[in-house]
């Protein structure tokens, strides 16, 4: 095999045009809602109540729109850069039944960083589908040549948190811990960018921006990528502007070392209703960071990850997220200070979920059944306009492997994401809350559920035998 692969790369482009378009679409949604209230055959009392509800909803939406456009990538001075360069940065990479192609792709991306990590700690958490011997041999040799200290352990299966803890124990000199997943492929400047917010002493954790590696595989991955990126660049960006990010993403996040070390015992032994909790690890680490200072997002730190390609895989993942979110909400209510923005942002999020669910139930059930009133057709337009307004942020992401017109086609699919969020995902959210005591992981128990069909020639060439075997990883 010959030639070199151009690494995946992306950046978030800031544009006043995006803000203007978002405000315009929100204004159109306001007009549609107002028209619907005026045109409906409701009594004055009901119409007034619904008008008040829509007013509150749009004020919240508009404030969030302005807040997420206030987020700025952190930049540093030459002096601050030297201080950041002096930090010992350790990458924690747990592996469990991962596809070898994705694992190889992620490890290779660490070698091509503009700011390489000082150490990388790979922990195979008792995988049952292979031992990754060839990838391990390749990685150890090339990490040594790149000057990256590394360890590769295989431990009995204890879960992701225990695998991360093994990496923490192996890196006692670390100043910053970078957590990644086994299918994380970092953009070339991801580590350099995610370190920049730490130039401010109050910053305790930094979230990266997660894009999909396999976003064009099928309709599910396209819509999921659209929904996921939009959420990061709207809801989480708004929270980041206030230094109150509630949940970092597993594929790429950074923490000051004391945040992890000082809480390692409680991190490994969290229980809920007498049962050990093994998921929602990223949100728990973020909570620890919030209790010490500011938690932010760095939109210039980009990572690529594999999304579920089957509905069953997505459903298990989302249910795990919702159960973990419910448990974490209880801990936030209990431990976050009332004087912090994060506490009230958390309550506001639940208020919005409850409000939207109540309005949907009223319009679709109570009005038709109790009063014989059918919701105006204009109300069907409102959620789509809001969805398209927020999804404009998706178009602000410039990818090296995709043209803008292809992303525009995906953006047009936002109504599918809206329909899913208002129906299936809403039901799953409340079901996840009701069944949050079920703390099992739920995915990848029988092997990798997403596979990389082929890996092109590596940028840093291993020996010919290893190259051939890694080029065609076995699909599982």
Residue 38 has pLDDT above 70, yes or no: no
CA distance 47 to 44: 5
Q: Which of 100-104, 117-121, 196-200 has the lowest mean pLDDT?
A: 100-104
pLDDT value at residue 60: 80
Residue 443 has pLDDT above 70, yes or no: no
Band (pLDDT 50/70/90 cuts) for residue 144 is very high
What does the buried/exposed string (b/e) look like for 34-44 if buried means 16 or more CB atoms within 10 Å of the residue's CB? Answer: eebbeebebee
Band (pLDDT 50/70/90 cuts) for residue 40 is low
CB atoms within 10 A of CB 418: 20
Query: pLDDT higher for 350 or 446?
Result: 350
Q: Which of 48-52, 325-329, 444-448 has the lowest mean pLDDT?
A: 444-448
CATH fold for domain 1-476:
Spore Coat Polysaccharide Biosynthesis Protein SpsA; Chain A (3.90.550)
Band (pLDDT 50/70/90 cuts) for residue 462 is very low
CA distance 296 to 290: 10
pLDDT value at residue 290: 96
Band (pLDDT 50/70/90 cuts) for residue 43 is low
Band (pLDDT 50/70/90 cuts) for residue 473 is very low
What is the average pLDDT value for the chain, to the nearest integer? 85
Q: Which of 38-47, 52-61, 142-151, 332-341 has the lowest mean pLDDT?
A: 38-47
Band (pLDDT 50/70/90 cuts) for residue 313 is very high
Phi, psi of 256 (to 5 degrees): -65, 140
Residue 416 C-beta-side C-alpha neighbours within 13 Å: 14
pLDDT value at residue 459: 46
Residue 163 has pLDDT above 80, yes or no: yes
As a whole-number percent, the residues of the chain with pLDDT over 70 amount to 86
Residue 140 has pLDDT above 80, yes or no: yes
pLDDT value at residue 251: 96
Scanning 396-436, the segments in alpha helix (DSSP H) are 404-411, 414-422, 424-434
pLDDT (average), residues 142-158: 95
pLDDT value at residue 54: 72
pLDDT value at residue 360: 77
CA distance 197 to 296: 8
pLDDT value at residue 28: 72
Residue-wise pLDDT for 218-238, tens only, equals 999 999 999 999 999 999 999
pLDDT value at residue 444: 55
Q: Which of 44-58, 140-154, 274-288 has the lowest mean pLDDT?
A: 44-58
Residue 411 has pLDDT above 70, yes or no: yes
pLDDT value at residue 37: 62
The residue extents of the domains of the chain are: 1-476
CA distance 104 to 182: 9
pLDDT value at residue 337: 92
Residue 112 has pLDDT above 70, yes or no: yes
Q: Most confidently modeled of 37-51, 185-199, 343-357?
A: 185-199
Which CB contacts under 8 angstroms, 24+ apart, belong to 19-22?
19/65, 19/69, 21/389, 21/392, 22/65, 22/389, 22/390, 22/392, 22/393
pLDDT value at residue 52: 73
pLDDT value at residue 412: 92
Looking only at the bridges linking them, the beta strands covering 294-305 and 203-212 are parallel
pLDDT value at residue 442: 57
Residue 227 C-beta-side C-alpha neighbours within 13 Å: 19
pTM here is 0.87
Band (pLDDT 50/70/90 cuts) for residue 452 is confident
pLDDT value at residue 445: 58
Band (pLDDT 50/70/90 cuts) for residue 380 is confident
Q: Which of 129-138, 173-182, 443-452 has the lowest mean pLDDT?
A: 443-452
pLDDT (average), residues 83-111: 95
| Axis crossing angle, helix 414-422 with helix 219-231, rounded to the nearest 10 | 80
């Amino acid at each position: 095999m010959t030639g070199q692969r151009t690494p995946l790369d992306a950046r978030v482009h800031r544009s006043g045009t995006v803000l203007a378009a978002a405000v315009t679409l929100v204004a159109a949604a306001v007009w549609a809602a107002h028209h619907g209230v005026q045109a409906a055959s409701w009594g004055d009392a009901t119409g007034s109540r619904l008008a008040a509800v829509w007013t509150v909803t749009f004020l919240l939406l508009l404030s969030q729109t302005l807040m997420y456009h206030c987020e700025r990538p952190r930049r540093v001075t030459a002096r601050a850069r030297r201080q950041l360069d002096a930090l010992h940065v350790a990458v924690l990479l747990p592996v469990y039944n991962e596809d070898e192609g994705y694992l190889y792709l992620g490890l290779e991306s660490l070698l091509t960083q503009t700011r390489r990590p000082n150490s990388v700690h790979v922990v195979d958490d008792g995988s049952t589908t292979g031992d990754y011997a060839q990838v391990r041999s390749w990685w150890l040799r090339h990490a040594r040549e790149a000057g990256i200290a590394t360890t590769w352990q295989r431990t009995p299966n204890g879960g992701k948190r225990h695998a991360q803890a093994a990496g923490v124990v192996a890196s006692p000199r670390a100043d910053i811990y970078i957590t990644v997943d086994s299918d994380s492929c970092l953009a070339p400047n991801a580590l350099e960018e995610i370190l920049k917010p730490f130039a401010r002493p109050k910053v305790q954790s930094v979230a990266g921006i997660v894009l999909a590696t396999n976003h064009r595989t099928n309709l599910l991955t396209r819509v999921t990528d659209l929904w996921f990126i939009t959420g990061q660049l709207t809801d989480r960006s708004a929270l980041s502007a206030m230094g109150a990010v509630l949940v970092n993403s597993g594929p790429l996040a950074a923490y000051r070392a004391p945040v992890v070390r000082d809480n390692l015992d409680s991190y490994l032994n969290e229980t809920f209703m007498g049962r050990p909790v093994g998921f929602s690890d990223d949100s728990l680490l973020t909570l620890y960071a919030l209790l010490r200072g500011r938690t932010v997002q760095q939109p210039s730190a980009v990572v690529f990850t594999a999304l579920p390609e089957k509905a069953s895989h997505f459903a298990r993942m989302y249910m795990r997220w919702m159960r973990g979110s419910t448990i974490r909400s209880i801990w936030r209510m209990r431990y976050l200070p009332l004087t912090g923005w994060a506490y009230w942002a958390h309550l506001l999020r639940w208020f919005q979920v409850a409000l939207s669910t109540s309005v949907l139930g009223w319009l679709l059930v109570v009005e038709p059944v109790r009063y014989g009133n059918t919701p105006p057709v204009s109300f069907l337009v409102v959620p789509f306009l809001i969805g398209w307004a927020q999804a404009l942020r998706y178009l602000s992401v410039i990818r090296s492997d995709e043209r803008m017109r292809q992303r525009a086609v995906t953006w047009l699919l936002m109504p599918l994401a809206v329909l899913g969020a208002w129906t299936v995902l809403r039901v799953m959210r409340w079901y996840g809350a009701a069944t949050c005591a079920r703390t099992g992981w739920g995915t990848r128990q029988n092997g990798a559920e997403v596979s990389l069909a082929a890996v092109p020639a590596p940028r840093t060439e291993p020996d010919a035998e290893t190259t051939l075997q890694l080029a065609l990883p076995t699909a599982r």
